[in-house]
Amino acid sequence: MSRRTPVQSPAESRNPQHGHAFRASSGRPALTSVHRLGTSLVAALALLAGSAALAPTLSAAAPPAQPAPDPAQAPYDLTTDAPVLIVLGQSNAEGWTAPIQDTADVAQCRAFGHVKGLRRTNNRVTGAESATWSPYTCVGNNLGQEYAGGRNYNVASATALRWERAVTAGAALPDLHVIHVAWGAQGIQETDGTNNRWWPDRDPTDIESLFPLAVNTITNGLRALREAGKQPRVIGIHWNQWEAEAGARSTISADHIQQAFLKVLEPLRTITGAATAPVFLYRPRTSHYDAMSKAHITEALTGLAARPAPNPYRLLDAAEATSATGVPLYDPAIPKYFGIYKDGIHYTRAVHEWFADQQWKTVFTDKRFGAPVQATENAALGRPATQSSTNWAGREEAGNAVDGNTGGVYWEATPSYTKYEAQPWWQVDLGAKRTIRSVELFNRTDRLFERLTDFDVIVSDTDLTGRGWADIQADPTVRKIRIKGTAPTKLTVAVGADGRYVRVQLAGTNHLTLPEVQVNVPIG
């Protein structure tokens, strides 16, 4: 059986001064209609728009502003709904040069009562088989690199702070769940050299390979919420990354870099199972990088945001940023800094809070309360499986890889095992054409795990038995996903394609051994 740890959600209480009842992890008591009317946050959210420390400067005498979105009207089920915010990228996704120094925010950052995160100590593990949710803190929840101790303003921490303040002020909102993976100066292309930690084909056994870490973490995090009886709802995926491509001057055309972005973004969208969730991209504004590369990147990102509906991609432009009181921040007359950068590259606190405000308005103004993540089932479990050969008849059969035993120690597990041969393969018949969200491969953990190295995950409508490697590679109707390097303890492969047959096939010569293969398809 798969070894997973259920979601951790300790009992909490709301701020006593608001009179809310103590609640356990099973959910909060529903507010009465009178209470809902009494806690309308049109005024309260004007207070919440910035830091809690700004509260004394705001009063009834402040200039009239557009009515603030009212979270009290959000139709969330407080018992089951679990809004999820995913923040990915490089230094600006971390909040370089924007340390959290506000006294109230520093105090809040130590522990949140209504926001959950994935702490590094529990979840920054190569090939992790589970995820553990715990109270969010501004330090220790970025699974990439934490710059200057990690306590910085970014869209993750700024949204978390605002969510917490809203609930404390009386909004009936379920806990927010934050998945954060960011690392400064890291690119998405092999040509980014030593700074290519977001490159999808980077060694998946390296904990610093951010793409497989993000794919596996998102899968595990959403599954843990499901197993805790929650309905995950993805309110936004933020991709704040492009500088490494401009800095390395590896961007040869807008089409080239757009395809590189899609090679990262589309699998990440697929793995969430929330096709309509908004994906926020960030428009380049700095003058620091090579002008031609930056122009190509800008064209690529604006092109994604301009795709015809339904289009999940949205472009955030810091040139449109305003302060909490509505004052424009961008000033092209200020060389290098433009009123939005602390050092010419990294955004100020006010800009990060504006980014969080756009996420907030997406939920509560646009009323996009989070795309529900459709539940999945393992369509491969117990299905007929075959392999190119069997190393030990009666012990290492193909069907062992779909028997539900994910154990990686040979004598305690039931792996499939081929003979030593060129391009050995293993295949399962799902019985019918299914929409495949992902394939999870469990590798050996005792020894010889390097045998599962450099291979393809292949999805086909038709049986591939009898077809050679070269024939399959040349067939455009067959979905092929190449995995370079050795698979970790568990590797999650985003698929996003329909098919009946799923095959795993080595590109070289060796034994192919698979403790377990799970094919995740939406239920229904």
The tens digit of pLDDT for each residue in 384-393 reads 999 999 999 8
Low-confidence winner among 4-18, 152-166, 270-284, 470-484 (lowest mean pLDDT): 4-18
Higher pLDDT, 201 or 73: 201
User: Residue 19: which pLDDT band, with cuts at 50, 70 and 90?
Assistant: very low
Q: Is the dihedral of CA 341, 342, 347, 348 positive or negative?
A: negative
Q: Is the pLDDT of residue 47 over 50?
A: no
Cβ atoms 345, 91 nearer than 8 A: yes
Flag whether pLDDT at 434 surpasses 50. Answer: yes
Q: Which residue stretches of 64-129 are H helix?
A: 91-94, 103-109, 120-123
Asked if residue 98 has pLDDT above 60, the reply is: yes
Helix (H) or strand (E) holding 353: helix 349-364
Task: Classify 174 in phi/psi space as left (phi over 0), alpha (psi -120 to 50) or beta.
Answer: beta
For residue 313, the surrounding DSSP H or E stretch is strand 313-316
Where does 414-510 have alpha helices with state H? 469-473
- Give the integer Cα–Cα distance in Å for 430 and 352: 46
pLDDT band at 1 (very low <50, low <70, confident <90, very high): very low
Q: What is the mean pLDDT of residues 205-234?
A: 97
How confident is the model over 121-126, as a mean pLDDT? 94
Buried/exposed 7-42: b ≥16 CB within 10 Å, e otherwise: bbbeebebeeeeebeeeeeebbeebeeeeeeebebe
d(Cα 472, Cα 291) in Å, to the nearest integer? Answer: 42
Which residue is it, tokens 């990915």? 88
Tell me, what amino acid is at 467?
R
Tell me whether residue 466 is exposed, middle or buried, using C-beta atoms within 10 angstroms of its C-beta: 0 to 12, 13 to 18, 19 or more. exposed
